[in-house]
Amino acid sequence: MALQATATAANAQSSGISREYPIKAAFLYNFASYIQWPAEAFTGKEEPFAIGVLGYDPFGSILDEIAARKKVGGRRIVIRRFSSMQEYTPCHLLFIPGTLTPQEQAAAIQQTRETPVLLVGETAAFAERGGGIGFFVEQNRLRFAISTDAADQQQLKISSKLLSLAKLVDQ
């Protein structure tokens, strides 16, 4: 994970984007690589893996660059951006930025409950409030918490390797 994040971070530095989001983008890609979605999450073998961003997109072109050169489970990646949950169409991973209000975050969690979508938020208690994964900073390092309850509700199977790196929380 660190090597990918470093290369992407160097590219982003030159375009004026904070190092935080290239690292988070690399994490999103790696989360997708270590989680198994149920077969019904895809309409066919050719369906791409969809990563969505709700509200303000802090990544700039970083996610698009990853999508252009990487695959998840042999599937090409597409990036979808939604200004609100009213515009939301199903995707496999949905990033919920910290710029959304707690009410908007709760609405996203509620609207996607029991559907096979991994929600990743960047507020400290996101996973504890029912989101799948929440980023937090501990000792100046970016870490993440996983709600195994949320993953179970959304029929996602998280690898033991990813779970071993996370702080595990229950709702």
Those residues with Cβ within 8 angstroms of residue 112's Cβ, 6 or more apart along the chain or in another chain: 88, 94, 119, 154
How far apart are alpha carbons 170 and 127 in whole angstroms? 8
Answer for the pair 53, 95: CB distance below 8 angstroms, yes or no.
yes
Please say if the pLDDT value at position 4 is more than 90. no
Sheet holding 75-82, edge to edge: 71-72, 75-82, 49-54, 93-96, 118-121, 133-138, 141-147, 167-169
pLDDT digits 0-9 by tens, 128-158: 999 999 999 999 999 999 999 999 999 999 9
DSSP string for 77-97: EEEEEESSTTT----SEEEE-
Q: Which two tokens stand for residue 148?
A: 């195994």
**Fold type of domain 2-169:** Rossmann fold (3.40.50)
- Percent of the chain whose predicted confidence (pLDDT) is above 70: 89
Boundaries of every domain in the chain: 2-169
Please say if the pLDDT value at position 171 is more than 60. no
**Bridge partners, 144 (sequence order):** 135
Q: How many residues does the chain have?
A: 171
Specify the 3-state DSSP secondary structure of 111.
helix
How confident is the prediction for the chain on average, in pLDDT? 91
Window from 4-13, 15-24, 54-63 with minimum mean pLDDT: 4-13
pLDDT score at 10: 40
- What is the pTM (predicted TM-score) of this model? 0.89
